[in-house]
């Protein structure tokens, strides 16, 4: 049987390799933004994991911030926790360092190990939903699983 290819399949494989039980759900409605994903999945917007890529102002290194869909990430807090000022990455930088296009960037399955900071507000939920490689695919996991599989440092990232 031919092996399915594509970015969603790469996320499926990463999920399996990490020992997660989650199944990727491909949907006919958009999950491109946190609001759309929440409406499509039928969960609260806070339960959507935004996978936001930042770039170290000095080093040029990538940083992945996993932020609750209801929060805006504070660049000041990111800098404080990461030890370097960080600005929003452009689309090419995101694709190069995560292997995925904006709108479908998952928290796992990247070609390189990324530094990860994780919004502690995500820990308040029983389950959360993250992008799975496309703007029409998500997977569900517990916040504890998200911490385990990303190695993310749980910190306060919320602006305002």
List contacts with ligand 5CA (CB under 6 A).
31-34, 37, 48-52, 88, 90-91, 102-105, 130-131, 135
Provide, rounded to whole angstroms, the least separation between the CB of residue 92 and ligand 5CA: 9
Q: Which residue's Cβ has the minimum distance to ligand 5CA? A: 50
- Scanning the structure block, which residue is given the tokens 């496309």? 134
Task: Give whichever of 33 and 96 is closer to ligand 5CA, judged by the CB atom.
Answer: 33
Residue ranges of alpha helices (H) inside 103-153 are 143-150
Q: Beta strand 153-155 with 115-119: parallel, antiparallel or unpaired?
A: parallel
Question: What is the distance between the alpha carbons of residues 37 and 44, in angstroms, rounded to a whole number?
Answer: 9
Provide, rounded to whole angstroms, the least separation between the CB of residue 108 and ligand 5CA: 13
Question: What is the distance between the alpha carbons of residues 85 and 78, in angstroms, rounded to a whole number?
Answer: 7
Task: Give whichever of 87 and 151 is closer to ligand 5CA, judged by the CB atom.
Answer: 87
């Amino acid at each position: 049987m031919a092996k399915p290819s594509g970015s969603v399949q790469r996320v499926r494989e990463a999920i399996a390799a990490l020992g997660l039980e989650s199944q990727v759900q491909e949907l006919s409605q958009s999950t491109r933004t946190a609001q759309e994903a929440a409406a499509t999945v039928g969960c609260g917007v806070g339960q959507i994991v935004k996978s936001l890529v930042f770039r170290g102002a000095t080093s040029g290194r990538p940083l992945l911030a996993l932020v609750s869909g209801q929060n805006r990430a504070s660049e000041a807090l990111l800098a404080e926790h990461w030890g370097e000022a960080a600005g929003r990455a452009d689309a090419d930088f995101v694709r190069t360092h995560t292997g995925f296009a904006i709108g479908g960037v998952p928290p796992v399955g990247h070609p390189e190990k990324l530094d990860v900071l994780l919004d502690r507000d995500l820990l308040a939920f029983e389950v959360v939903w993250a992008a799975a490689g496309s703007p029409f695919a998500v997977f569900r996991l517990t916040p504890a699983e998200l911490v385990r599989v990303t190695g993310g440092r749980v910190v306060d990232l919320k602006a305002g």
